[in-house]
Amino acid sequence: MPLATLSDVLQPALGEGRAVAGVVCLGWEDARAYTAAAEEVGVPVILQAGPGCRAHTPLPVLGAMFRSLAADADVPVVAHLDHGYEEAEARAAIDAGFTSVMFDGSKLPLAENIARTAAIAEMAHAAGVSCEGEIGFVGYAEGAESRGTDPEEAARFARETGVDAMAISVGNVHLQTDAGTGLDEGRIAAIEAVTDVPLVIHGGSGVPHAQRARLARGTAICKFNIGTELRQVFGTALRASLAEHPDRFDRVEILRAVEPPIRAACAKVLRSLG
Which residues are catalytically annotated? 82
Cβ atoms of residues 21 and 11 within 8 Å: no
Tell me the C-alpha to C-alpha distance, in Å, between residue 223 and each of 1, 77, 95, 137, 243.
21, 14, 24, 17, 36
Number of neighbours of residue 162 by Cβ within 10 angstroms = 15
Residues 6+ apart with CB under 8 A from 136: 106, 146, 147, 148, 149, 150, 153, 154, 168, 169, 170
Where residue 233 falls (left for φ over 0; alpha for ψ -120 to 50; beta otherwise) is: alpha
H-run or E-run covering 134: strand 130-135
Alpha carbon 59 to its chain centroid, in Å, reads 16
Distance, CA of 104 to CA of 89 (rounded, Å): 11
CB within 8 A of 86, min separation 6: which ones?
none
**Distance from C-alpha of 3 to C-alpha of 176, rounded to nearest angstrom:** 30
Contact present, 120 and 87 (Cβ < 8 Å): yes
3-state DSSP assignment of residue 131:
strand
